[in-house]
Amino acid sequence: MIKQLKYKNVTWIDITKPTREETSNLAKQYNLHDVVSEELLSPSSRSKVDYYEDYIYLVLHFPLNKYAVSEIDFILGQDFVITTHADLIQPLAEFAQILDGGNDNKKEKGFHAGHLFYYMLRELYGPLEVELDGINNKLKKIEEKIFAGQEAEMVKSLSQTNHQLLDIKWSLKFHREVLSSFASVGKDFYGEKFDYYLRAIVSEYEHVAELVKSNREIFAELHATNESLLMIKNGLTMRVLTALAFIFLPVSLIAFIFSMAGSGPVVESYFGWYGVIGLMVLAALMTSGLAKYKKWI
């Protein structure tokens, strides 16, 4: 599906699930290299940037889908931007609606495709900032529950949060390298005046990367604290169980001895049964007293 928009001096062509016929037509219209035309049809394993004479070709991956990473291919000329992707990219769709509803088709001196690309990236990084703020709030709630004694229940929540952070981290892994390369070639392609926007583009990524780093550090601290509290709680449980076993060991031993002895003068006497019970109680009291003295319970 192809959507074409005109904004100021720039034509934006957005294609969802591009076909060979569509990419061939684009290649003819904008003089695209055969390699670029082919790469638009298949997913790339990593983000990258290639500099051609008349355009810049970029591939970036964004964790915009909850269950998968979305790849977006950008072709940036002087007066055109081409974006292709396999699935609907909601931030781009919303950005297209904003441009389409703006009716700002008047030419503006100095406005080129690089400026439009800058605004696109702001729209793409925006949802990530919102998601990372949400993760930060989630971590705060997890922290409250950890210190409220719900350590075991928080293990799953921490695992899910870590999964989210890892998805974002790995999908943005090559953005710094790609955007830094784009900043270098973009200055040659669009001129020195575009330098501010190039630095702003890198800054947009750096802000998101800093949020990821901050949340990862908070997660690591909470995970370590949660593990420590669980170990302490499990240790206390084991200590109590060990102390109970110590207390009832003499009781069990006495019961075992008299059960093995069967009938005898002690058991057969009138107070024999009560005497055995009394001996067991006395043994339990003595061992429990010793356990308390040693602060085992």
Band (262; pLDDT cuts 50, 70, 90): low
pLDDT at 261: 56
Band (236; pLDDT cuts 50, 70, 90): low
pLDDT tops 90 at residue 137: yes
**Alpha-carbon span 186 to 203, nearest angstrom:** 15
Counting residues of the chain whose pLDDT is more than 90, the rounded percentage is 37
pLDDT tops 90 at residue 107: no
Neighbours of 85 (CB within 10 A): 21
Band (252; pLDDT cuts 50, 70, 90): confident
Torsion of CA 181, 90, 28, 191, to 10 degrees: -30
pLDDT, the chain, mean: 84
Which of residues 264 and 43 earns the better pLDDT score? 43
One-character DSSP codes across 137-187 = HHHHHHHHHHTTT-HHHHHHHHHHHHHHHHHHHHHTTTHHHHHHHHHHHHH
| pLDDT tens-digit map of 181-199 | 999 899 889 988 899 999 9
One-character DSSP codes across 231-243 = HHHHHHHHHHHHH
Domain boundaries, the chain: 2-230, 239-293
Say whether 45 sits in a helix, a strand or coil.
coil
**Alpha-carbon span 61 to 45, nearest angstrom:** 9
* Number of residues assigned to the chain: 297
pLDDT tops 80 at residue 13: yes
Task: Determine which of 39-48, 73-82, 113-122 has the lowest per-residue pLDDT on average.
Answer: 39-48
Task: Specify the DSSP class assigned to residue 50.
Answer: E
Counting residues of the chain whose pLDDT is more than 70, the rounded percentage is 86
| pLDDT tens-digit map of 64-100 | 766 578 899 999 999 999 999 988 888 998 888 888 7
Rounded average pLDDT over 157-173: 88
The domain 2-230 is placed in CATH, from the list 3.30.460.20, 2.70.70.10, 3.40.50.2000, 2.60.40.10, at 3.30.460.20
Helix (H) or strand (E) segment spanning residue 53: none
| pLDDT tens-digit map of 206-227 | 999 999 999 999 999 998 988 8
Band (264; pLDDT cuts 50, 70, 90): low
Band (203; pLDDT cuts 50, 70, 90): very high
